[in-house]
Amino acid sequence: MQKDLVAKIESLKKEKKVVILAHNYQRGEVQDIADFVGDSIDLSRKAATTSAEIILFCGVLFMAEAAKILSPGKVVLLPDLKAGCPLANMITLKELRQKKKEYPGAVVVCYVNSAVEIKAESDICCTSANAVKVVESIPQDKEIIFIPDKWLGDYTSRIAKRRLILWDGYCATHLKILPENILLLKERYPKAEIIVHPECTRDVIEMADQALSTMGIVKWVKESKATEFIIGTENGIIHRLKKENPEKRFFPASVLAECPNMKLTTLEKVLWALEEMKYQIEIEEDIRLKAKKAVERMLEI
Ligand code: CIZ
């Protein structure tokens, strides 16, 4: 059954010259049919450089929007329009404008997990891989509003040694990873390296050996001499880690760290997206151009 589905996807993909991109948090079987697996910016860059005219983005809405920001001439498809990001939805344009009024002159640093309108209203974008560098690039005399993830902001503030005006947003999936989960696993697997994502809470990050973005985790695990790892992020990444490092063992910090939105994309929906060419991401040009500026400023760093 799954074999038939995969065969149909492969054949339609070739026929329509589509590139399939999958985020590191997608279901294993979706990662397996993708041309590229990565983080949102990595994949958006791939979308911009591929010769394919149609990009099928297996991820959540802000990721497909990021691809469209950089590739306006291409058709960008998201298999399920309900695949949103609760963290991205934790700040509205009205709220951001109000915050900017409270801190006139402050630079707005916006995590990639945000809607295109929010990016358009921000000065510079960042990812979890480069948030520290982005903050460090801002002159010391400037105040910085960091949106929307308070835990990534808290981590960035401590590493960059810079006061940030934080927004009260968070990733509900990363918050499912608790210090007691880490303690228990550390006792059970004392030789395991503990790698967590900077969207985790401060107490979880402080118990870890490393706090890294998804691509940071992929790279770290490959290069590390350790053979066991406790992974504190959305559990979809463990599929990739096992595939690329079959000799190593991985333990999810919490079995509850599953993003329901990421898991909305199934092989069936990928096939329907290819058959019906939906759902197409559209962005108003003036908003896209403003958002692109914020993304490009980040890419220049
Ligand atoms: O940038 C991304 O794709 C996200 C949301 C996380 C990460 O660490 O890759």
Ordered by where they begin, the domains of the chain are 2-84+262-282 (3.40.50.10800), 88-170 (3.40.50.10800), 174-252 (3.40.50.10800)
| Best residue for ligand 1 mutational test, from 21, 31, 39, 234 (most atoms within 8 Å of Cβ) | 39
| Best residue for ligand 1 mutational test, from 36, 45, 113 (most atoms within 8 Å of Cβ) | 113
Q: What is the pLDDT of residues 74-109, one digit of tens each?
A: 999 999 999 999 999 999 999 999 999 999 999 999
* Ligand 1 centroid from CA 170, angstroms: 14
Q: Is a pLDDT exceeding 80 seen at residue 28?
A: yes
Task: State whether the beta carbon of 112 lies less than 6 angstroms from ligand 1.
Answer: yes
CA-to-CA dists, residue 149 to 154, 166, 168, 182, 200, angstroms:
9, 8, 7, 22, 10
Q: Is a pLDDT exceeding 80 seen at residue 1?
A: no
Predicted confidence band of residue 259 (pLDDT cuts 50, 70, 90): very high
Task: State whether the beta carbon of 181 lies less than 6 angstroms from ligand 1.
Answer: no
Task: State whether the beta carbon of 214 lies less than 6 angstroms from ligand 1.
Answer: yes
Q: What pLDDT does 2 receive?
A: 83
Cβ atoms of 253 and 230 closer than 8 Å: yes
Let me know the angle formed at the C-alpha of 118 by 279 and 294, rounded to the nearest 5 degrees: 100
Q: What pLDDT does 3 receive?
A: 85
One-letter amino acid of 111: Y
Q: What is the pLDDT of residues 169-180, one digit of tens each?
A: 999 999 999 999
* Ligand 1 centroid from CA 1, angstroms: 32
* pTM assigned to the model: 0.95
CA 80 centroid distance within chain: 17
Q: Is a pLDDT exceeding 80 seen at residue 254?
A: yes
Task: State whether the beta carbon of 113 lies less than 6 angstroms from ligand 1.
Answer: yes
Task: State whether the beta carbon of 234 lies less than 6 angstroms from ligand 1.
Answer: no
DSSP 65: H
| Best residue for ligand 1 mutational test, from 21, 23, 219 (most atoms within 8 Å of Cβ) | 23
Task: State whether the beta carbon of 213 lies less than 6 angstroms from ligand 1.
Answer: yes
Q: What is the pLDDT of residues 183-240, one digit of tens each?
A: 999 999 999 999 999 999 999 999 999 999 999 999 999 999 999 999 999 999 999 9
Task: State whether the beta carbon of 233 lies less than 6 angstroms from ligand 1.
Answer: no
Task: State whether the beta carbon of 44 lies less than 6 angstroms from ligand 1.
Answer: no
Alpha helices in the chain (DSSP H): 2-16, 28-33, 40-49, 61-70, 93-102, 116-120, 131-136, 150-160, 179-188, 202-207, 214-223, 237-244, 267-276, 285-300
